[in-house]
Amino acid sequence: MIRTFNDILDDLMSELVSRTPFTNLNPSAVIRGLLEVIAKVVSDLYGLVKTVMQQSFVQTATGNWLDLKAREMGIIRKPAIKTKVYLTFSSNAPAAQNVTIPAGTICKSQKDSSGRDYRFLTIDEAVMEEGQSSIVVEAEAEQPGNAWNVGQDTISRMVTRVTGINAVTNPEGYMIREGSDPESDEQLRQRAIGKWETLGIGGTREAYRTWALSMPGVIAASVLDDFPFGPGTVGVVILGESGEPSAELINEVYQYIKARKPLTADVRVLAPEIVTINIDLEVTRFASASQETIEADVINAITEYSSMLQLGEGLILARLIDAIMDVDGIYNVKILSPVNDISVGVDHFMTIDQIDIIHRIKGRSYQDGSIDGSGGDESAAAAQILDVNKETFSIE
């Protein structure tokens, strides 16, 4: 049992009174000060014991302590990795001579909603030969992390000027490898716990899942172990940092599992089927709240909810409403579409695409009180404010 400073101090004072003639234990007394010093030292020791106990088990360890516990089982925290992409450099007309694009040529994305852009550097020197008007070059993010997994056609600005090149972009199929953040404590903990499932002779469902999650860039995995492609087959569905994994990541996971699976197992690593849905909702806000602010905050709340969806996880309307209701200034939320929860299979990944919002207002500020007949529970379309008869406080 971990004892607090006050518990220890009370015990010390009780023992002192019972064993010595000292009776003055007021805060100004010298003996009280000495007891407080002793109590502080003992409580610090209790705190150290509590920390050591918590950090001694994989289930409760955190940070560097968890790294040490995981290493005991041969597991290393997955590091952050850089996004790798294909960039297409082009000119307005076929080149009159060879155009060299140096290694380290810097391009950057358009600014995102937070006003931040992301820089990418070409990996090797490339040459657009005479007569060509475009060339595809591999590039890598300036820093590792998930944030550099930018969207298609967003890398469109050149920081390094290259004579003969007029434009740059990242067209469809641009992603070579998704970037990722360092593995979180919870992700590392689950891999460490799942390690035991990989030690048997056969390949269990959890073993395949743990092997897949061991690869940097894989944030979720599910296993189809009911012979999905015929006798002896196993399907491993993986989710990348930006949703659908790249071909390179799928191959890396396959090679990793292939070296560890039972010889008789025919394993196939798959991308999930992406399920895209649209959300239509009606938001009633307080009259004092700004429509623009509410709309931006609601979209951010839904986007954050969508980013937390896992492989095989469907839409739960109650959870979505709960996330939206956390936005300041909202009185009520009604989901117009979809009307019911949506379930998806373990090999599906759901994303929320378009969000359409109808705004309504919960009356004027003096209608929000407890005045009888004020109509404080009424709402109006965003384009209008209900007329109010100020003599009877009723809505006309």
**Is 185 part of a structural domain of the chain?**
no
Q: 252, 271, 290: which is the final residue of a domain?
A: 271
DSSP track, 227-247:
-BTBTTEEEEEEEETTBSPPH
User: Do 266 and 285 sit in the same domain of this protein?
Assistant: no
pLDDT exceeds 70 at position 135? yes
Pick 153 or 205 by higher pLDDT.
Answer: 153
**Is 59 part of a structural domain of the chain?**
no
pLDDT score, position 168: 96
The mean pLDDT of 221-240, rounded to a whole number, is 89
**Is 61 part of a structural domain of the chain?**
no
The mean pLDDT of 129-145, rounded to a whole number, is 94
User: Do 150 and 205 sit in the same domain of this protein?
Assistant: no
- Identify residue 178 by its one-letter amino acid code: E
DSSP 311: T
**Is 182 part of a structural domain of the chain?**
no
User: Do 167 and 235 sit in the same domain of this protein?
Assistant: no
Contact residues for 101 (Cβ-Cβ < 8 A; gap 6+): 89, 122, 125, 126, 127, 128, 135, 137, 162, 165
Q: What is the pTM of this model?
A: 0.59
User: Do 328 and 259 sit in the same domain of this protein?
Assistant: no
Tokens encoding 311 = 């492989």
pLDDT score, position 50: 85
Q: What is the pLDDT of residues 277-296, one digit of tens each?
A: 999 999 999 988 999 999 99
The overall longest dimension of the chain from CA atoms, in Å, is: 103
**Is 134 part of a structural domain of the chain?**
yes
State CA 320 to chain mean position distance.
16
**Is 66 part of a structural domain of the chain?**
no
pLDDT exceeds 80 at position 122? yes
**Is 227 part of a structural domain of the chain?**
yes
The mean pLDDT of 118-123, rounded to a whole number, is 96
Mean model confidence pLDDT for the chain:
86
**Is 79 part of a structural domain of the chain?**
no
Tally the C-alpha atoms within 13 A of residue 177's C-alpha that lie toward its C-beta: 21
CATH label of the domain that carries residue 208: 3.30.300.30
The mean pLDDT of 179-197, rounded to a whole number, is 85
pLDDT score, position 204: 81
pLDDT exceeds 50 at position 383? no
The mean pLDDT of 13-42, rounded to a whole number, is 88
Beta-bridge partners for 273: 348
The mean pLDDT of 177-198, rounded to a whole number, is 85
Q: What domain range includes position 103? A: 84-177
Contact residues for 128 (Cβ-Cβ < 8 A; gap 6+): 89, 91, 95, 98, 99, 101, 134, 135, 164, 165
The mean pLDDT of 187-206, rounded to a whole number, is 77
Lowest mean pLDDT of 185-189, 231-235, 366-370, name the range.
366-370
Identity of the highest mean pLDDT range in 203-207, 211-215, 376-380? 211-215
User: Do 266 and 283 sit in the same domain of this protein?
Assistant: no
Q: What is the pLDDT of residues 297-329, one digit of tens each?
A: 999 999 889 878 888 889 999 999 999 999 999
Please give the tally of structural domains in the chain: 4
User: Do 111 and 125 sit in the same domain of this protein?
Assistant: yes
Q: 271, 301, 328: which is the final residue of a domain?
A: 271
